[in-house]
Amino acid sequence: MRRVILFIILCSVMSAFGQKFTGLALTPPMGWNSWNHFACDVNEAIIMETADAMVETGMKDAGYLYVNIDDCWHGKRDSLGFIHPDPERFPSGMKALSDYIHSKGLKMGIYSDAGWKTCGGRPGSRGYEYQDAMQYAKWGVDYLKYDWCNTEELNARGAYLTMCNALHKAGRPIVFSLCEWGNNDPWKWGKIVGHLWRTTGDIAVLFDGEVDHGGWSSWGVLQIMDMRKDIRQYAGPDHWNDPDMMEVGNGMSQAEDRAHFAMWCMLAAPLIAGNDLGKMSKETLEILTNEDAIAVDQDSLGIQAFKVLVIDSVDVWAKPLMNDELAVCFLNRAKSDRKIVFDWKTNPIKDTIFEKEFLFDVNEYKIRDLWKKKSRGSTKKTFKSEIASHDVIMLRLAKK
C-alpha cells in the first residue's frame, strides 16, 4: 500500500513539473529562423527556398537542421478552435510544407505565443494549448518557439508547463524553445520544461549598443553577453541558455560577425541563423560553416564558457571540452586594435563550477587557431598576437 501511495505522489509531482521529450537537444540545436531577416514578411516560397539553400550551400552538412517559421504564419481558427495557416501566404498548408522540408533531410519549426495574441498580433495559444499541440503534431512539426507577448500577468512557469504537457500529450517529439526573455529566471526551472530558454530580450543587428523601441529595447551582441554573467551552471545537454538567434550576415562588419559567431559557440548557444541564406556572401557562409568553431559549440561535454579575465579591453574566455581539451577566445571589445600578450604558465584556468582546471606550468598544450586554421605553437611560450577591433582570436588547446 505504501508503494502505491508513493507511486501516486511521484506521478503527481512529475505531472506538476511537466513531461518534456528528453534527448532531443543533447547538443545546442542548429538551424535557421525567419524573423531576424524577414520579420512578418514570411511565406511558403521563402521557407521552401530557404530549405533548398540550406542544403545547396552546405549549411545542412555543417549541422544546421531546423527550418523555423517565426511569427505571422497564422490564419484563423476553425469552428472547433484548431489553428490554420494564412491561406494566402501558405496556400499548400503546413503539412505539405513540412513534408517538403523533411524531404530535404531537414526538420521544421514553428512559432506560437503563450498569450492571447502573438507579438505580431496573430492568434496566440492561450486556452488552445492542447489543440495547437495536436495540430503541430499532425503537421509534422519538430521544433516550437513559444513567445511571451500579450500574456496579461500569466505565471510564466505555469504557462510553459501547460504547453510542455500539451506537446507531450500530442505524442510527437518536439524541441521546445522557451522565448520568455529571461524575465522570470527560466534557467532555474526551464530544464524540466523545455530544451532551451531565452536569457534576454531580442538581439539587434548591432555589436555594441541598444536600440530603443519605446517601452522595450533590443540589444547588441556585447550587451546580451553582459546581461547574464552568472547562469552558466544551469546549461548543459538537453537544456541550454539561449542568447537569441544570430545576426550573422545581416549588416554588421565581417569582424563583428566572426566575433558574434565565435562567442555564441563559446557560450554553447543554439546556433540559429537569421540571415537570407539564398543571398549570403561567401564570407558569411564561411563564418556560419566554420567546422572548428561549430565543434566547440557542439562539444558533447556541454559546458558553457566563462570569462577568465580582461586585459586592456580584451576579454579572455575559456570553455572546457571533452578529452581535457580547452577552447580559449580573446575578444576585443574596443573600437581600435589591441595587442595581446598572454603568459599561459602564470595564468592557469580553473572552472570552479564544473571542477575543471588547466595548469599550464604542469602540462603543455598544443594550440590551434580555429579561424586561421593553423597551429599557433604551444603553451610553452607566451602567446602574442594582435586583434582587430570587435574581432576575436579563437583557439583550441589539446595536451601534447
C-alpha cell at 155: 505565471
Nearest CA to 71 out of 221, 202, 189, 261 is that of 202
Judge whether 59 and 106 are in contact, CB under 8 Å: no
Q: What angle do CA 103, 104, 109 make, to 5 degrees?
A: 90
**Alpha carbon distance 73, 66 (integer Å):** 17
Q: Is 271 helix (H, G, I), strand (E, B) or coil?
A: strand
Long-range contacts of 117-122 (CB under 8 A, 24+ apart): 117/149, 117/150, 118/71, 118/72, 118/74, 118/147, 118/149, 118/150, 119/71, 119/147, 119/149, 119/150, 120/40, 120/71, 120/72, 122/71, 122/72, 122/73, 122/74
C-alpha cell at 201: 530580450
Residue ranges of the alpha helices (H) in the chain? 2-17, 35-38, 44-56, 59-62, 94-103, 129-139, 156-170, 190-193, 221-227, 254-266, 282-288, 291-297
**Alpha carbon distance 257, 259 (integer Å):** 5
Q: State the sign of the Cα–Cα–Cα–Cα dihedral 286, 242, 208, 389.
A: negative
Question: Dihedral through CA 354, CA 323, CA 59, CA 258, nearest 10?
Answer: 60
Judge whether 195 and 25 are in contact, CB under 8 Å: yes
Q: Which residues are catalytic?
A: 147, 202
Judge whether 235 and 304 are in contact, CB under 8 Å: yes
